[in-house]
Amino acid sequence: QVQLVESGGGLVQAGGSLRLSCGASGRTFSSYAMAWFRQTPGKEREFVAVISRSGNTYYADSVKGRFTISTDNAKITVYLQMNSLKPEDTAVYYCAADRMLSRYYYSTAVSDYDYWGQGTQVTVSS
């Protein structure tokens, strides 16, 4: 069982930046593809960004060029650097882990992810 904990959410003005972090009590993510999703009330959870076991990354079109997903060298923490934030980025952001045999493959589907954090609120004011 992997328990993920997100941190770093908060209130920021449009154009500002935030960095979200996700950890699992020191456990390494080396066997997992890691992703960030987000959800607003009344809407389905949507894909934001993913990093494969090999470090390949992929982003939703809505955040491409503004958000960056990364891990530390020990693959204990996953980050989401969010720049040039917009009011439409307001959501609860969730970290997720997908146990993956392939080092290169990743998924953007909510249903493929095995473990989820509790979420952290990001609010962007206009």
Mean pLDDT to the nearest integer, 68-80: 93
Predicted local distance difference test score (pLDDT) of residue 83: 98
Predicted local distance difference test score (pLDDT) of residue 44: 97
d(CA 45, CA 91): 10
76, 105 contact by CB (below 8 A) = no
35-57 pLDDT, tens digit per residue, is 999 999 999 999 999 999 999 99
Give bridge partners of residue 13 from the DSSP assignment.
125
Residues 6 or more apart in contact with residue 49 via CB below 8 angstroms: 35, 36, 57, 58, 59, 60, 63, 67, 68, 69, 80
Average pLDDT, the chain: 95
100-124 pLDDT, tens digit per residue, is 888 889 999 999 999 999 999 999 9
CA distances, 91 to each of 21, 27, 36, 74, 108 (Å): 15, 27, 12, 29, 18
